[in-house]
Structures are given as C-alpha cells and as structure tokens.
C-alpha cells in the first residue's frame, strides 16, 4: 500500500469503519511509515477538535415561537381568509380578462377590413355634392338630378370644345382647391384609399359655376385638366422626360373633382373580375397603371372574397387599361357598355 492510499483510509480508521482486511493492510503500512504515522496523528487531532466543539443552543423562546406558529388560526382569521382569498384571486383574473378582451378587439379590428370600413363610414365624411345621391363611395346611386355636376351626354361634345378654349391650368387650381394627395400615396395606399371626394369648397365652387347653366359650367369645370389635383400635377412632374403626347392628352382629359363626384355615383360602364396571385402586388401594379394612364380611382371597398376598385379612365386610354390589367392578372370583363363614354367608369373586382 502506498502512502496516498493509506491516508485515504484515515477517516474510516478514526470512525472505526474499516473492514478487517483494510485495517490489516493499513496497520502494516503505518508500522513501516513514520510520515504516515505523523500525518495520522494530526488527522486524529483535527477530528478531536471537532468533537470537542461545544454544542449550539437554540435561542431563548424558540419553542414558544414554534408552537405559536404551529397553532391553528382562530375561526375569525380562517373566515377572513376564505372571504378575502377570492378577492385576491378575483381581481387579477378580472384584470387579465379585461386585458385579453381589449387585445382581442384590437386584433380583430386590425384583421377585419369590414370592421375598419364600417368605422370609417361612421366617421364624418366630406359632404357629397349637392343633389348627389351617392352617399357611400363606390356604390351605384340613382341617376343624379339635372342640377348635379354630372354632365349629361349632350355636354360631352361641349366639353371637348371647351377644352381647347380653357384658360391656362394654373388659374383654375385655386377655384377648385384640389387635395394635396401625392400620386404615390394614391397608387400604393391599399388600406386607406377610399372615395376621394373633392373638398367642400372645391365642390361648391364647381357647383356655383355650374348651377346657372349646368352643361356649360360643367364643361368649364372640367376644362382645366392640367389643373388637376397636385397629386396628378406632381405625377406629371415626375413622369419621365419622354412622356408621350398620348399621356399628355390623357392628363388633359381627366375629369374634374366635381365630375368625379358625379361619376362615382354612376353605374360602371365596364365591370369585371381581375384574378391575381398576389393581391398586394396587384394593387401596387394597378396603382402604377392608373397613374400612367391618367386614370383616377374613385372608390374602393372590400367585399367577401375580394377587393372592388372603381376608377375612371379616359375613353382613349381604355384599351391600354385593358392591356395593363391583363399583365397584372387574368382580366375577365363581365359587362362592357356598347358605347363607351369619354370618361369610362370601370369597376374591378380583384380576387385571389
């Protein structure tokens, strides 16, 4: 046995816990190893010191405190505990339930387009033009009365004549007070885009101009196509330098806000379904197409299974619109008027 192994047995030796064989081997080593004998002596001295440590005593009154703690509570304390415990549980539970309901409501509102639209419809909106029956954007309305800004078909020829005779665009913009919405926002805003009614001042101004002689005034109001909303103006400014003459004509042919209000209430000249694989991308592409063609979105609403977008495009740009829609998705028109007007009202149902 080596010294290391012998010293590993010291504790058991001191505690008389060695087997007979272990004791014999250890004794034989100790007899021959004075160093291990000295080490054993120190080891025994350490253990002796430990055994001589005075015992600890619990503090005075310890037993009384333990007995008091172990005693059952009086009946009134137990009753109070039963009564108050529900409160201790009830309040956190109720608070948690309220928080969960609030979070769920917000989550559902964000995820349900119908709810958001209903909330927007309930909010005060810009008043529709006087005499207009279109209270809700995008919904087909009764034919507007004669005083409405919607031009009668007979005024279309007057319109084209007056376009040539119209004053420069700049002089008209203040009269109508177009809204300052940028084209990009209109094209890409798939959530917020709704019927963009002209500002009350602009509508009133247009109507004032139109009321004495509706067709003429309507034509006059429609004339400054270049005085279109600054959104379209800015879009024109950002158009590439090689904008074609065709696009310029389309810009000039854009209806005025007053006219738009009337068109919004009119039934669509063309309606159909645009089946797409990626609705978000399709909406962006549609917005870009409308901007390029000078078309104007007049209404947007969510319906079961799809999104309905109603727009107005110049008749001359309608073929390009169809071509563009075919590039975005599968365009399936289900109604096309026999004779398309100068401003074609198109109702698109975008589906996945």
Partner 1 sequence: MREETALDERGFVERLRAGDPRAFEELVRSYQHRVFGVAARMLGNASEAEEVAQEVFLRVHRAVGEFRGEAKLSTWLYAITSRLCLARLAGSERRLGREGEEVLVRLANGHANPVAALERSELEAALHRAIAELPEDRRIVVVLRDLEGLSYEEIAEALELPVGTVRSRLHRGRLDLREKLERFLP
Kindly list the residues in this chain that would bind partner 1 in the complex (CB under 8 A): 8, 10-12, 15, 17, 41-43, 45-47, 49-51, 53-59, 62-63, 65-67, 69-70
How many angstroms separate the CA atoms of 72 and 79, rounded?
13
The position carrying tokens 């055994």 is 51
Nearer to partner 1, 47 or 152 (CB): 47
Going from the C-alpha of 117 to that of each of 122, 175, 300, 305, 349, the distances in angstroms are 9, 31, 10, 15, 17
Nearer to partner 1, 51 or 327 (CB): 51
How many angstroms separate the CA atoms of 252 and 227, rounded?
9
Nearer to partner 1, 44 or 208 (CB): 44
Q: Length of the chain in residues, anyone?
A: 352
CB of 88 to partner 1, least distance (A): 22
SS3 344: strand
CB of 63 to partner 1, least distance (A): 5
Structure tokens at 118: 């209903």
Structure tokens at 289: 């197409």
Nearer to partner 1, 45 or 201 (CB): 45
CB of 69 to partner 1, least distance (A): 6
CB of 109 to partner 1, least distance (A): 46
Nearer to partner 1, 30 or 155 (CB): 30
Encode burial over 106-133: b for 16+ CB neighbours within 10 A, e otherwise. Answer: eeeeeeeeeeeeeeeeeeeeeebbeebe
CB of 10 to partner 1, least distance (A): 7
């Amino acid at each position: 046995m080596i010294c290391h192994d012998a010293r590993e047995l010291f504790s058991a030796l001191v505690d008389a816990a060695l087997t007979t064989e272990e004791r014999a081997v250890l004794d034989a080593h100790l007899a021959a190893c004075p160093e291990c004998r000295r080490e054993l002596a120190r080891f025994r001295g350490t253990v002796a010191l430990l055994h001589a440590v005075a015992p600890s005593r619990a503090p005075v009154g310890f037993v009384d405190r333990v007995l008091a703690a172990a005693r059952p509570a009086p009946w009134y304390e137990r009753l109070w505990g039963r009564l108050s415990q529900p409160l201790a549980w009830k309040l956190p539970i109720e608070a948690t339930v309220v928080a969960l309901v609030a979070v769920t409501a917000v989550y559902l509102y964000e995820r349900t387009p119908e709810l958001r639209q209903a909330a927007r419809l309930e909010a005060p909106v810009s008043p529709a033009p006087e005499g207009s029956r279109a209270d809700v954007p995008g919904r087909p309305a009764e034919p507007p009365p004669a005083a409405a800004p919607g031009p009668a078909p007979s005024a279309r020829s007057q319109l084209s004549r007056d376009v040539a005779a119209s004053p420069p665009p700049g002089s008209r913009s203040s009269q109508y007070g177009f809204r300052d919405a940028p084209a990009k926002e209109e094209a890409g805003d798939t959530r917020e885009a709704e019927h963009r009614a002209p500002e009350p001042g602009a509508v009133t101004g247009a109507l004032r101009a139109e009321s004495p002689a509706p067709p003429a005034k309507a034509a006059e109001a429609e004339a400054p196509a270049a005085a279109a909303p600054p959104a379209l103006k800015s879009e024109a400014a950002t158009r590439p330098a090689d904008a074609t003459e065709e696009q310029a004509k389309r810009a000039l042919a854009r209806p005025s806000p007053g006219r738009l209000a009337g068109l919004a209430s009119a039934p669509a000249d063309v309606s159909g379904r645009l089946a797409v694989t990626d609705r978000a991308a399709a909406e962006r592409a549609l917005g870009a197409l409308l901007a390029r063609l000078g078309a104007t979105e007049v209404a947007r609403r969510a319906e079961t299974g799809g999104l309905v977008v109603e727009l107005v495009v110049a008749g001359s740009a309608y073929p390009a619109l169809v071509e563009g829609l075919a590039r975005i998705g599968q365009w399936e028109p289900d109604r096309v008027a026999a004779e398309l007007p100068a401003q074609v009202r198109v109702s698109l149902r975008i589906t996945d």
